[in-house]
Amino acid sequence: MARVLSGIQPSGDLHLGNYFGAVRNWVSDQERTDAFFCVVDLHALTQSLDPEDLRRQSLDLACVLLAAGIDPEKCTLFLQSHVPSHQQLAWILECSATFGELKRMTQFKDKAGDQEAVRVGLFTYPVLMAADILLYDANEVPVGDDQRQHLELTREIANRFNNRYGQTFVVPTATIPKVGARVMDLQHPERKMSKSVNSPLGTIGILDKPVEIEKKIKKAVTDNDGIVSFDVEAKPGLANLLTLFGACLGEDPEEISKRYERYGDLKKDVAEALIESLRPLQERYQTFSADIPEVLRILHHGALKAREVAEVTYQRAADAVGLVSEA
Ligand code: ATP
Ligand code: LTN
């Protein structure tokens, strides 16, 4: 059975990009694979979060994932910081990845931007991500399109390590969905929908109320030529709406475009489809968020299962590089 691992940061409210690009596919992956999903709270430390916010957001994200259909009977759900092997392996891998490789990461360049004091953790972030993946011998890593480069780096690190120290890691592949891998901001369709950019009208949260979803879709930026067609370059706003619709219906956005003549009709149906797609998740979220002790139990059980797998791989890597095993 294939092994899957993916992670998501507790850095803010989940949006449609996170849902269609990643989380929804995790729910189907758990049916056919041995899947591990982790809330990457250590990665979120690369941003300046209030400690109480980080704690609350980590548990809230676990509630959202459970509400989305992540089922602890079918997969392993855990918090990254509960499994110390992630940090241990990250150090070993940092001694293999190079400064030049990390400097080329576009997410680092975007996030470091013009910050005056760039944290070292933001720079080494992709190596911790490589450790997350390699510890579980993952064959598949379901992510959105923006993580392609990080996955390439993970493969590079794994291959280099295997060549230098002998076969130690499984070399993983990114699994990126056909529709929904890159959901764009509704107000700025040239940039991706993002948790860390403040764009309230451009971002639809997966817990947004139906009236908010309707309003945001109605106000979504399109163009003036009045022709409904799927053209990402020439008509990015409309293409984004068709992509969201396609992701809801499981249909090709181009096919959907042929059924519409007016932007208004399309927008109305897109809003309705989104509201219906999110309704079950939103209802279940109430149940989980009202029972945090149960969520903590699920995460504890997940950490036990994750540690069992991760510790074995860590030991294999530690042995390979020449660290002495404890008697
Ligand atoms: P930020 O938006 O703050 O940069 P993020 O949402 O990209 O954060 P994560 O929460 O770690 O970062 O992402 C979780 C998953 O969601 C990843 O697999 C990522 O590829 C995917 N994802 C994020 N944004 C989008 C988007 N706009 N479209 C499709 N997938 C996305
Ligand atoms: N870097 C990812 C989040 C992430 C991840 C992972 C994804 C951390 N560790 C392991 C897949 C597998 C992001 O920023 N979206």
- CA neighbor of 54 nearest in space, from 40, 43, 38, 41: 41
- Mark whether 169 and 260 lie in a shared domain: no
- Residue 4, beta-bridge partner list: 35, 140
- Residue 76, beta-bridge partner list: 36
CB atoms within 10 A of CB 174: 21
Axis crossing angle, helix 263-289 with helix 210-218, rounded to the nearest 10: 150
**Domains of the chain: total:** 2
Token digits of residue 284: 């279940």
Instruction: Evaluate whether residue 145 is within a structural domain.
Output: yes
Phi, psi of 52 (to 5 degrees): -65, -35
CA distance 301 to 278: 28
| Per-residue tens of pLDDT for the chain, all 327 residues | 999 999 999 998 999 999 999 999 999 999 999 999 999 999 999 998 999 999 999 999 999 999 999 999 999 999 999 999 999 999 999 999 999 999 999 999 998 987 889 999 999 999 999 999 999 999 999 999 999 999 999 999 999 999 999 999 999 999 999 999 999 999 999 999 998 788 999 999 999 999 999 999 999 999 999 999 999 999 999 999 999 999 999 999 999 999 999 999 999 999 999 999 999 999 999 999 999 999 999 999 999 999 999 999 999 999 999 999 998
Instruction: Evaluate whether residue 198 is within a structural domain.
Output: no
What's the CATH code of the domain at 214?
A: 1.10.240.10
What's the CATH code of the domain at 87?
A: 3.40.50.620
Closest-CA residue, ligand 2 atom 6, reads 7
* Domain span at 133: 1-178+290-319
- Mark whether 240 and 225 lie in a shared domain: yes
- Mark whether 224 and 101 lie in a shared domain: no
Instruction: Evaluate whether residue 230 is within a structural domain.
Output: yes
Instruction: Evaluate whether residue 302 is within a structural domain.
Output: yes
Atom of ligand 2 nearest to the CA of 146: 15
Give per-residue burial for 222-239: e unless 16+ CB within 10 Å, then b: beeeeebebeeeebbbbb
State which of 70, 146, 148 you would mutate to test the pocket of ligand 1, scoring each by most atoms of that ligand within 8 A of its C-beta: 146
Start-to-end CA span in the chain (Å)? 34
Distance 41 CA to ligand 2 centre (A): 11
Burial of 256 (0-12, 13-18, 19+ CB in 10 A): buried
What pTM was computed for the model? 0.96
